[in-house]
Structure 1
């Protein structure tokens, strides 16, 4: 076996799409287990997600960022909401020219007729989620004061070039598995 073949076997290419939820957490856990059993050291992962549950996204971020597998993440279309946090688990991060990111604060819908104490609990939970996600954002990216201002009160949309300027991605380039490399969906 040549050195190139040996190196290729230590790398693998994956797609990860859908809502960030307990099902995605399970799929990533299971896939990573197989990666470690197969001796895969680097996993190139194309992420496509409009977001989902904050706790599941934080779990995936912490798991992937500390995994023995080196995750390299790619955005080929849209990575939004809590999916941006899991995307940041990539030790290297890339986006296609036409890709977009969207970052915003947490939100929830209260049941009609909710009592003030129930609303307080919801607000406290949202503030806690925002503190957790913002600490990760600030660890990895540098937004302008204007961008942080938009994020404070609304949806912040970033093009691939804006994401590069902020440090969200290191390069604007496509997810392009080498010809003949296995491609698996997580």
Structure 2
């Protein structure tokens, strides 16, 4: 933390990029622990991720949305797949004019020659993941019936303006830390 942050003890600025996986979960846990120890009350986080594992994204969503810190999330480029769920953990959310979001249903690849019972297990897992993520999407955003229909069978791409109309973001705005503030990568 910089001297300015230590004095106020209220705000800090971070970046978080890469695949949503167990490594990212660990980094987020460690960083939030350090934030709470440093007295951070509001954390601004720029996210750049094309997604990853559903369970890891859900874990971070649940953890961050209930942590004793206000998280302000930013999309400066791309937030896609399960990273959208992570992004939605923010109490306030923003995206740059040129940022994009992408949401889709879960998918998996079966092993060649997989038996029907193995395929059934994969399908049931995908349905469970879809139910979990869709409940969070519906809690936070308001898509049009046409957008929900696209989401049902394909990738749904949203510009920052689309995301604002869907209440995914509060406004179109850039991640803009104050001059001299230390920016940490999670």
Which TM-score applies when normalising by structure 2?
A: 0.96
SS at 1:150 equivalent: helix
Q: Residues 5, 130 of structure 1: CA spacing in aligned structure 2 closer, same or farther, 3 A cutoff? A: closer
1:48 aligns with 2:48: yes
| Cα displacement (A) at 1:129 | 0.1
In the other structure, the counterpart of 2:76 is 76
Distance 2:38 2:10 in 1: 8
CA RMSD of aligned residues (A): 1.2
In the other structure, the counterpart of 2:160 is 160
SS at 1:112 equivalent: coil
| Cα displacement (A) at 1:9 | 3.3
Structure 2 residues without counterparts, runs of 5 or longer: none
Name segments (4+ residues, structure 1) moved above 3 Å.
4-9
1:61 aligns with 2:73: no
Distance 2:6 2:117 in 1: 60
> 5 Å matches for 1:12-51?
12-51=12-51
Partner deviation per Cα, 1:79-117 (whole Å, 9 max, x = no partner) = 000000000000000000000000000000000000000
In the other structure, the counterpart of 2:121 is 121
Task: Give the number of aligned pairs.
Answer: 183
| Cα displacement (A) at 1:69 | 1.0
SS at 2:75 equivalent: strand
Distance 2:6 2:50 in 1: 36
